[in-house]
Amino acid sequence: MNIEELKNEIYKLKRKKNALIVAHNYQIDEVQEIADFVGDSFYLSKVCAERPEEVIVFCGVHFMAESAKILSPHKKVLLPEIDAGCPLADMVTAEDVENLKKKYPDYSIVCYINSPASVKAKSDVICTSSNAVKIVREFPNDKIIFLPDKNLGSFVKKQVPEKDIILWEGFCITHYKIKKEDVEKAKSAHPNALVLVHPECRPEVVELADFVGSTKQIIDFATASKEKEFIIGTEMGVLYSLKKLNPDKKFYILHPGMICPNMKKNTLQSVRDALLYERYQIEVEEEIMQGAKKSTC
């Protein structure tokens, strides 16, 4: 099938199966185009829970589909590519959390949503890149272990200096590629552009940015701004929405390697196959689901 035939087949199957298609901001353009909703992972999980459709095709990575399942336990959640994982999420395990609790019994675990359901279930609260600072600041315990992303944790630690925060040594392999020199080079090439970066970037990169925020916050900032040029320090899939919402503005990707290979695995073909064969269905054990749901922000 060509692209148009695939799209028509997807729309036909979606109606037949009473399905909802959601896509993360980092998905390829073609997948974002056919999605009913595009956005950050937690926003999409909430949309899935609020909508009436009984079948969810989640175009993202494994932990995102798990999050959707946790909030929509009675719905069928499908991940088009079953091996679309997240190296950051794989950097921490439920056993790691148990060991941390034994070593630091007075500390509370704040878990970034980019983590497995089994880790969420053993944490005290879950945060997103949008609300991490707020969650940590307002949490009743002043002793915090933040996991798994050390860079987001470092950003939070700087914003909430009054708290004792221990950082887990995980990181996003895509955002970690950006170095201070890349920002300086980009600013030199585009002196009139504002630098917008994700807090998963290294601290020295975040320090040089004009704005730091989640993918949605970056999109919202650029859209609301009167400025016309922006250097974007997050996965390049976000350019689809930025350009669509701001056709009169210019966007430059901060580093040519800002591509998440796992996010790019989902294609129109795999979305069509997910609907046709109702694969790959994501399941979360009941005990884990209940534990993760209790910690959800």
- CB 119 within 8 Å of CB 111: yes
CATH superfamily of 89-167: NadA-like (3.40.50.10800)
Q: Span 216-225, mean pLDDT?
A: 98
Measured torsion, CA atoms of residues 36, 113, 92, 285, in degrees rounded to the nearest 10: -70
pLDDT value at residue 296: 73
How confident is the model at residue 1, as a pLDDT? 81
Q: What share of the chain is helix, strand, coil (3-state, %, to 5)?
A: 45, 20, 40
| Of the candidate ranges 1-5, 104-108, 125-129, 212-216, the one whose mean pLDDT is the lowest | 1-5
What's the confidence (pLDDT) of residue 52?
Answer: 97
What pLDDT, on a 0 to 100 scale, did the predictor assign at position 183? 98
| Residue ranges per structural domain of the chain | 3-85+263-285, 89-167, 175-253
pLDDT of res. 295: 75
For 1-55, the pLDDT digits (tens) are: 899 999 999 999 999 999 999 999 999 999 999 999 999 999 999 999 999 999 9
Do the domains spanning 3-85+263-285 and 89-167 agree at the CATH topology level?
A: yes
Domain at 175-253: CATH architecture:
3-Layer(aba) Sandwich (3.40)
Q: What is the DSSP letter of 256?
A: T
Hey, which CATH number is domain 3-85+263-285, 3.40.190.10, 3.40.50.720, 3.40.50.10800, 3.20.20.70?
3.40.50.10800
Share of the chain above pLDDT 90, in %: 98
